[in-house]
Structure 1
Amino acid sequence: MKIAVLIARILLGLIFIVFSLNFFFNFIPMPKPVMSEKAQAFSGGLYGSGYFFQYLKIIELISGLAILFNRYTAFFLLVLFPVSVNIFLFHSILAPAGVPIAATIIILHLFLCFAYRKYYSSLFTAVPTL
């Protein structure tokens, strides 16, 4: 199990690091995917905000580095979970061409959340005591 967690952690961390750095430096030329009108509207709105993708990619970079180097991993898995879910939903509903990488991200993420589940037990306390 430890080796599987290590491999999943490295893969997920690298995915977020590489794609966030590629956003800023464009070292992997990526062809513009064919997207539906709804997908273009969604992406256009996020890009049009002027800040969203820069903020998102900085969060992905910091979180990816922390996961890769195993620092505050459980916390950064929680930070990235909404990002992974949105990547998966966007590609499965609006832009199906990216489903393989989106499915990989969500599977790795869920596997790591399961592996680090003992760190989340206190979050699911129904009535916390002080």
Structure 2
Amino acid sequence: MKIAVLIARILLGLTFVVFGLNFFFNFIHMPQPVMSEKAQAFSGGLFGSGYFFQYMKVIEITSGLAILFNRYTAFFLLILFPVSVNIFLFHTILAPAGIPMALAIIVLHVFLGIAYRKYYASIFTAVPVV
């Protein structure tokens, strides 16, 4: 199990670091996939905000590095979970060409969430006592 968690952690961390850095430095030249009108409108709105993608990519890079170096991993998995879900839903609903990568990201993320579940136990306390 430890080896599977290590491999999943490295794959997920590298994915977020590499694609986050690629946003800023464009070292992986990927052709723009054909997207539906709704997908273009969604992406255009996020890009049009002028800050959202930059902010998200910085979070992806820092979280990915923390996951790679196994520092505050449970915390950064929690931070990245909404990003992974959004990637999965975007490609499932609006841009199906990216489903394989989106599926890999969500599977790795859920697997790591299960592996680190003991660190999340206190979050799911219904009535916390102070």
TM-score category of the 2 structures, normalised to the smaller one: over 0.9
| Cα distance in structure 2, aligned partners of 1:101 and 1:53 | 19
Q: Please list every run of at least 4 consecutive aligned residues from structure 1 whose deviation after the TM superposition is greater than 6 angstroms.
A: none
| Cα distance in structure 2, aligned partners of 1:127 and 1:85 | 27
The corresponding residue for 2:118 is 118
**What TM-score do the two structures reach when normalised by structure 1?**
1.00
The corresponding residue for 2:22 is 22
Aligned length: 130
Uncovered stretches (5+) of structure 1, i.e. residues with no partner: none
Uncovered stretches (5+) of structure 2, i.e. residues with no partner: none
Deviation of 1:23 (Å): 0.3
**Partner SS for 2:31:** coil
Root-mean-square deviation (CA), in Å?
0.3
Give me the identity figure in percent.
82
The corresponding residue for 2:93 is 93
**Partner SS for 2:11:** helix
The corresponding residue for 2:7 is 7
Deviation of 1:7 (Å): 0.1
| Cα distance in structure 1, aligned partners of 2:45 and 2:86 | 15
- Determine whether 1:56 maps to 2:56: yes
Letter in 2 for 1:120: Y
| Cα distance in structure 2, aligned partners of 1:49 and 1:33 | 22
Deviation of 1:59 (Å): 0.2
